[in-house]
Amino acid sequence: MSSRGIGFKGITDKVAIIGMGCTPFGEHWDMSLDDLIREAAYCAYQSAGIDQDAVDAFWFGTAQSAASGIAMASALGVRDKPVTRVENYCATGSDALRAACYGVASGAYDVVLALGAEKVKDSGYQGLNAFPIPNAGTQLNVTAAARYAMVLEAYAAKYGLDVERARYVAAKIAEKNHRNGALNPLAQFQREISAEKICEMPPVAGRLSVYDCAGVADGAAAAIVCRAEDASKYCDTPLYVKAMALVTGDGTGVVDPSYDYTTFPEVVASAQAAYAQAGISDPRGQLALAEVHDCFTPTELILMEDLGFADRGFAHQAVVNGRFSLGADLVDLAVNTDGGLKACGHPVGASGLRMVYEIWLQLRGEAPAERAILAEHRQRGLGLTQNLGGYPGELVSFVGIFGTS
């Protein structure tokens, strides 16, 4: 996939995040969508030291909890201001933030709110492919877990891994992310589990067990955005937007016999564009940490190579050697320090903003000490988020880079 024309120019250093908020992710039987929206928004307002009257416009990301911006306007009591509802599969939260940032960069607004929320645990739906949409019978009838399970088999075949070894590598990803999630009070699953125990579990799709799959959760996350030159009015330590790249595939990968499931071309293209915008030539050496879309454990394995964190065919070694783990002796950069989708859960509209919230905490030195990144890495001052939606061969991918200076 060519990266030409997908935004090398960008809005680098034109926009800053001055406040953020995030609810716990989980089974919120005692909270409505309105409650989640209000909690995330008010935490973000408090973080930025503003009230809602200071916000000029609102972007609301939700995949299946509401059909328009009215849901957010009603929850927050917003009147006579624009509220735009955004949906882009599992990249919904990131796309809401992207739209908000471009709204500020255009000069149309001074201060805006981007918020993602999902309330699905008590709605009868369990994920994006739960809707019983009638079709002609010609569409693929394979679950998301099964499609990403194919990735693990394909990777093993291409790089000569024994399939049981590949299965262990995927389990090591889950082990790492559950270990990080156990240190995160906002995570849905706060329990460590070993790769060996995961490998003993019965499969639910291919060789993947339930512990290889992100949890379905309720939750919300929010960001307050303003022009970079105004950030010091609100915040001593803002996050500056260094890059935002969104690539939407055309879906032809699922019918292309040459597509081998060991790379996500949309991720590669969005990463290339984001690195060009931010001036990054060595992501392993320049980034302090990364939050990536580990909807299933094989996804993170492929992302380590597509994002340039590991050489092609060698991510499996880096995973087993702990190169992406917190506090590891050989760590290149820590990945999914809050537990990722795997441990945090995946309220679709909120996940992209939750990733940015973790960058916000880590780079500003506010993450709990037990899961803070290495001091020498934090000094790099740059964090990456990668948020995707769809399936191998038909993806939308967002890559954002944020910095403290």
Query: Sorting pLDDT into bands at 50, 70 and 90, what band is 3?
Result: very low
Q: How far is CA 398 from CA 34, 93, 301, in A?
A: 27, 10, 17
pLDDT digits (tens, 9 = 90+) for 207-266: 999 999 999 999 999 999 999 999 999 999 999 999 999 999 999 998 899 999 999 999
Is 235 noted as a catalytic residue in this protein? no
Q: Is the pLDDT of residue 128 over 80?
A: no
Lowest mean pLDDT among 24-33, 122-131, 161-170: 122-131
| pLDDT score of 127 | 53
pLDDT digits (tens, 9 = 90+) for 23-61: 999 999 999 999 999 999 999 999 999 999 999 999 999
CA distance 89 to 395: 9
CA distance 348 to 88: 10
What is the separation, in whole angstroms, between the first and last Cα of the chain? 32
How is 195-251 classified by DSSP, letter by letter?
HHHHHHSPPSBTTB-GGGBPPP-BEEEEEEEEEGGGGGGT-SS-EEEEEEEEEE--S
CA distance 308 to 304: 6
216 φ, ψ to 5°?
-80, 130
Query: Could you write out the three-class secondary structure of 45-84?
Result: HHHHCCCHHHCCEEEEECCCCCCCCHHHHHHHCCCCCCEE
Helix (H) or strand (E) holding 402: strand 394-403
Q: Which of 43, 90, 213, 295 is catalytic?
A: 90
Mean pLDDT, rounded, of the chain: 94
Minimal CA–CA distance to 60: which of 36, 87, 40? 87
Answer for the pair 394, 251: CB distance below 8 angstroms, yes or no: yes
Answer for the pair 72, 60: CB distance below 8 angstroms, yes or no: yes
Q: How far is CA 292 from CA 129, 299, 352, 385, in A?
A: 21, 9, 9, 6
Is 316 noted as a catalytic residue in this protein? no
Q: Is the pLDDT of residue 194 over 90?
A: yes
Helix (H) or strand (E) holding 387: strand 382-391
pLDDT digits (tens, 9 = 90+) for 303-355: 999 999 999 999 999 999 999 999 867 788 999 999 999 999 999 999 999 99
Contacts of 56 (CB under 8 A, 6+ apart): 81, 109, 110, 111, 112
The DSSP bridge pattern shows strands 289-291 and 219-227 to be unpaired
pLDDT digits (tens, 9 = 90+) for 265-311: 999 999 999 999 999 999 999 999 999 999 999 999 999 999 999 99
Q: Which of 28, 178, 346, 377 is catalytic?
A: 346
Answer for the pair 340, 173: CB distance below 8 angstroms, yes or no: no
